Amino acid sequence: MSTVAAAEPLSFQDLILTLHHYWSEQGCAILQPYDIEVGAGTLHPATVLRALGKKPWKAAYVQPSRRPGDGRYGENPNRLQHYYQYQVILKPNPDNLQELYLNSLRAIGIDPSLHDIRFVEDDWENPTVGAWGLGWEVWCDGMEVTQFTYFQGVGGIEVDVVSGELTYGLERLAMYVQGVDNVYDLKFNKEGLTYGEVFLENERQQSEANFHGYDVAALKRRFEDMEREAAHFLTMKGPQGQPLVLAAYDQVLKASHLFNLMDARGAIAVAERQSYIGRIRDLCKACALAQVEHERATA
């Protein structure tokens, strides 16, 4: 049963291509996924670091999200430890961002006269990168399909210019558009390839590795290595005298993923948890501060 009136619902990859095309038309740079494991598309430096400072910026990209603790061995129809987010950042946010967003839904075949589109309060916060914003979860017939946020702060620093951020949950959206109940049944393309054929095995193997495989002591050591490395890069200078924020931030992302893996292994006691998050946040703040100060100094 299809819940959408479109003649032929978009395949998973056509959904991405449609969004790429749509946001490209809106003047966004279409970027590729970042090549480090992250828990959310926001963490891509093209969002977190570009949201700082005054320079305008428009970009859209797909980013795999890795959430080791959410793995269900491919047995849960809705939960994955690896899935995709479609991320749009517009800085400063245009006045008609809501309209632009609704038109993107129309572009992928969701008709607001048939469906119940709602902007429901959801103030977004990511404590590990010290970022926060106000906005909504956008609901389509009761399902959260997008996080819509006006960034207010990043890395613990209040932003100079407000960015509008859209995060579409691609699998959910595709399931909705295709009228499919199980993520693994999604049509990946028009050739009959399913999402399950592409990713089910990955879920099975990675779930086992996440929950039972990783050597906790080694994760901990690597976390500490990355932490040191990040701090080290922040003391270095690049050829134009700039701080090595991008390199340092890469290490922060790696440390953050290592933390998530330790967490999935159940190796983080409640009391330790805040301390780990605090360590990552402090590094992230240091990156943000270095970037902002450098931009101010060179402005």
- CA dihedral 84→90→95→97, nearest 10 degrees, is -10
Contact status: 181 vs other proteins (CB under 8 A)? yes
Upper half-sphere CA count for residue 177 (Cβ side, 13 Å):
29
Q: How far is the CB of 90 from other proteins (least distance, A)?
A: 10
Contact status: 36 vs other proteins (CB under 8 A)? no
Residue-wise DSSP of 135-198: EEEEEETTEEEEEEEEEEEETTEE-SSPPEEEEEEHHHHHHHHHT-SSGGGSB-STTS-BHHHH
- Looking at 113-121, 195-203, 217-225, 233-241, which segment touches other proteins (CB under 8 A)? 113-121
Q: How far is the CB of 85 from other proteins (least distance, A)?
A: 18
State the first-to-last Cα distance of the chain, in angstroms, to the nearest integer: 57
From residue 116 to residue 145, what is the string marking binding to other proteins with x (rule CB under 8 A)? xxxxxx-x---------xxxx---xxxx--
Contact status: 8 vs other proteins (CB under 8 A)? no
Contact status: 6 vs other proteins (CB under 8 A)? no
- Looking at 107-115, 192-200, 205-213, 223-231, which segment touches other proteins (CB under 8 A)? 107-115
Q: How far is the CB of 242 from other proteins (least distance, A)?
A: 25
Which CB atom, from 56 or from 213, has the smaller least distance to other proteins?
56
Q: 158, exposed or middle or buried, with CB in 10 Å at 0-12, 13-18, 19+?
A: exposed
Q: How far is the CB of 293 from other proteins (least distance, A)?
A: 21
Which CB atom, from 81 or from 251, has the smaller least distance to other proteins?
81
Q: 239, exposed or middle or buried, with CB in 10 Å at 0-12, 13-18, 19+?
A: exposed
Give me 282's structure tokens.
């402090």
Which CB atom, from 117 or from 193, has the smaller least distance to other proteins?
117
Contact status: 103 vs other proteins (CB under 8 A)? no
Closest by alpha carbon to 223, among 277, 153, 176? 277
- Residue 208: how many other CB atoms lie within 10 Å: 12
For 89, the enclosing helix (H) or strand (E) is strand 82-91
Q: How far is the CB of 132 from other proteins (least distance, A)?
A: 10
Site for other proteins in 264-283 (CB under 8 A): 269-271
Alpha-carbon dihedral sign for residues 211, 213, 215, 221: negative
Q: Cα–Cα distances in Å, from 288 out to 66, 121, 188?
A: 23, 27, 38
- Using the rule CB under 8 A, which residue among 157, 161, 193, 198 binds other proteins? 161
Site for other proteins in 213-252 (CB under 8 A): none
Q: How far apart are CA 196 and CA 219, in angstroms?
A: 30
Contact status: 100 vs other proteins (CB under 8 A)? no
Contact status: 57 vs other proteins (CB under 8 A)? no
The residues of the shown chain that bind other proteins, judged by CB under 8 A, are: 1, 3-5, 76-78, 92-95, 98, 112-121, 123, 133-136, 140-143, 150, 152, 161-162, 176, 181, 269-271
